[in-house]
Amino acid sequence: MVAIFTYAFVSLLTIIFSYIFMKKNKGGEEELHAHGNENRAQLPPGSLGWPYIGETLQLYSQDPNIFFSARQRRYGKIFKTHILGCPCVMLASPEAAKFVLVTQAHLFKPTYPKSKEGLIGPSALFFHQGDYHNRLRKLVQGSLNLDAIRNLVPHIDATAAFMTSESWGTGKVINTFHEMQKFSFEVGTLAIFGHLETRYKEELKKNYMVVDKGYNSFPINIPGSPYKKALLARERLRHILGDIIHERKEKRLPEKDLLGCLLSSINGGEVLSDDQIADNIIGVLFAAQDTTASVMTWIIKYLHDEPKLLEAVKAEQNAIRISNEQGNQPLSWAQTKIMPISYKVVLESLRMASIISFLFREAVVDVKYKGYLIPKGWKVMPLFRNIHHNPEFFTDPQKFDLSRFQVAPKPNTFMPFGIGVHACPGNELAKLELLIMIHHLVTKFRWEIEGSQSGIEYSPFPVPLKGLPVKFWRLE
C-alpha cells in the first residue's frame, strides 16, 4: 500500500513550523479569530483541528490523498481545515477550481513560504500577479511556441538516445526517478540556453541539485544544514548565471531560447535586470524538472503493469523506428504527431499520477462562494487529484484506461498543468519530451521493477516507492 518515508514526513513537518512562525501566517490566525462568531456559520464545513498544528499531523501521517478524499466524503466538495500553520478552504469541484484560477483569479494570489521564494528567487514569475507576471509569462510562452518546440525535437531525441545509452541495458538496477531528473534537466537547459558550454552546464547542475535538495528541508540558516547549503548553492548559481548572461550580452546574438527572450525584453524602456533573469531561469528549471521526471517514472511503471498496452505502444513506436532506418535517423516533429496510443498513455498517466495534486492560493479579500465565506488571508487549495479521481468524471478512476481520452474530458475536470493565468506555459514541451523518451524506452529495452511494485513516496511530488528501482535489458 502507500508508504511515506521518514525523510519525506520529517521534511514536510518542518514546513509546518516555517509557516507557523511566519508573520504572514500569524496574520492568518488573527483573521481566523477576527471572523470568529460573527461569520462562523458562513464558513465551509470541516474541522480546524488543534490550535496552531491544526490537522497537519493527520495529513502527513497518512497518504495525503486519503486525508483529502475522506474529508470530501464527510463534508462535501467545499470544506475547511488547518494545515501547515494556515486556515485553508479545500475545493474539489471543477467549478470551484475555475472560480479560483480563472474567472476570479484576481481575488486569489499565489502564495509560497518566504524560504522557498528565497531559494528560487523573488522575481520568478509564479510568485507574482498583474503586469509583471503577464510580461514574464508572455516571454516564457514566446520561447516555447510551436516553432521553438519543433526545432528542439532532434536535440531532445539526441539527449534521450545519449541518456539511455550510458548505463542502461545491462540488467543493472537504476533509480528511474533520478535518471529521469537528469533527462529533464538536460531538456530544461536546452530550452533555456540552447547549446550551453559543458563547463557551465556541469556547474549549474551541481549547484542546482543542492538547491533542489534543500528546497523542502527545515529553513534554518545554520552551517551544515541542507537549507544553509542550498542558500550558498543558490548564491553560486547567481554568479554562474551572471557569467552566462554577460557572455550572451557581449555576443549580441538574436537567440530565440528563453535566455534570448528575457535579454531582448524591453517594457516601457526598461529591460530586465540580471537578477530578474536569473530568478526566472531558476524558476523554470524548478517547474520543469521534478514534475516531468515524476510523470515519466510513473509511465514506466504503468506500462510495466499493463503488458497488452505495452505491446500496443511498442508496435506504434517500432513502426516509426523502422521508417527512421531502424533508429539511424532522428525523430521528426511530424512523427511525434502520429503517436496516438502513446499520447493517450501520457494523458492517462498525468491523470492517474496527478503530480500537482493541489495548488496554494490566498484570498486577498473576503470572498463568498456558493454561500460560504472564504476570509481574507485564508489559503485556498483547488484539489486537482480529487477531481481527476472523481468517478463522476472518470469512471473507475483507479483503473488505467486510455479509452477515457477518446473524447475530450469535460471542462475543468482534467488539469494536470493547471488552468488560468498561472497554468504551466511549458506543458507542450513536457508532453513532447515524454513522447520522445517513450519512443526510446519501448524500442530499445525491456524492463522489470526491482522489489516492491506498490507504494508511493512524496519528495514532494508523488513518485513510486524508492524512485522505482528498475532493471533494463537492451533488446536484440
Contact between 318 and 443 (Cβ < 8 Å): yes
Does 424 carry a binding-site annotation? yes
Please state, in angstroms and rounded to a whole number, the distance separating the CA atoms of residues 433 and 159. Answer: 10
Asked if residue 94 has a cis previous peptide bond (ω within 30° of 0), the answer is no
445 φ, ψ (degrees, to nearest 5): -135, 155
The residue with cell 522489489 is 451
Please state, in angstroms and rounded to a whole number, the distance separating the CA atoms of residues 183 and 172. Answer: 18
Amino acid identity for residue 202 in this structure: E
Q: How many helices (H) and strands (E) does the chain have?
A: 18, 14
232 φ, ψ (degrees, to nearest 5): -65, -40
Q: Which three cell numbers stand for residue 193?
A: 540556453
The residue with cell 510495466 is 304
DSSP structure string for 138-197: HHHHHHTSHHHHHHHHHHHHHHHHHHHHHS-SEEEEEEHHHHHHHHHHHHHHHHHHSS--
Please state, in angstroms and rounded to a whole number, the distance separating the CA atoms of residues 183 and 187. Answer: 6
Q: Please compute Rg for the chain using Cα positions.
A: 23
Q: Based on the number of CB atoms within 10 Å of its own CB, is 242 exposed (0-12), middle (13-18) or buried (19 or more)?
A: middle
Please state, in angstroms and rounded to a whole number, the distance separating the CA atoms of residues 46 and 150. Answer: 48
Query: What's 340's DSSP letter?
Result: H
DSSP structure string for 106-137: GGEEE---HHHHHHH-TT-GGG--HHHHHHHH
For 42, residues 6+ apart whose C-beta sits below 8 A from its C-beta are 368, 371, 372, 373
Binding-site residue ranges for heme: 424
Binding-site residue ranges: 424
